[in-house]
Amino acid sequence: MSERLSTLRERCMSLPEVTEENPWGDIAWKTKGKMFAVTGESAEAVTVKATLEQQMVLVQLPHIRVAKYVGRYGWVTVDLADRDSLEIALDLIQESYRLVRGKK
């Protein structure tokens, strides 16, 4: 397991009532049955929920882009190119969890 994947998993699983699943061959973390973060086995990027307003600001940052398929709902993908982008992703995971958890 890569260090990036280990770090992502550690952050996600440290949050209350989180499960890890493997839809589509990816690794997804959910709370109350709702996904808040997803990555591949190589953990080169992580996709997280954001509001549409947050998305407009986040995509101005290096290594962040509108997520495929779910971008129209505010989701963004963070390319984990370096330590700084990983730190941003870890903060966004926390925010994504908060957004998703508040929905149910």
Q: Tell me what the pLDDT averaged over the chain comes to.
A: 96
Q: Spell out the CATH class of 3-101.
A: alpha beta
Question: Using 50, 70 and 90 to split pLDDT, how confident is the model at 7?
Answer: very high
Please name every residue paired with 46 in a beta bridge, in sequence order, or none if there are none: 39, 78
Q: Mean pLDDT over residues 19-27, rounded? A: 95
Where helices occur in 41-81 by DSSP H, the ranges are 52-58
Listed by start position, the domains of the chain span: 3-101
pTM of this structure: 0.95
Residues present in the chain in total: 104
pLDDT at 103: 60
Residue 43 in tokens: 């953990």
- The single-letter code of the amino acid at 88 is I
Residue 53 in tokens: 């307003």
Cβ-contact 11, 74 below 8 angstroms: no
pLDDT in tens, 28-75: 999 999 999 999 999 999 999 999 999 999 999 999 999 999 999 999
Q: Are strands 27-31 and 76-79 parallel, antiparallel or unpaired?
A: unpaired
pLDDT at 102: 87
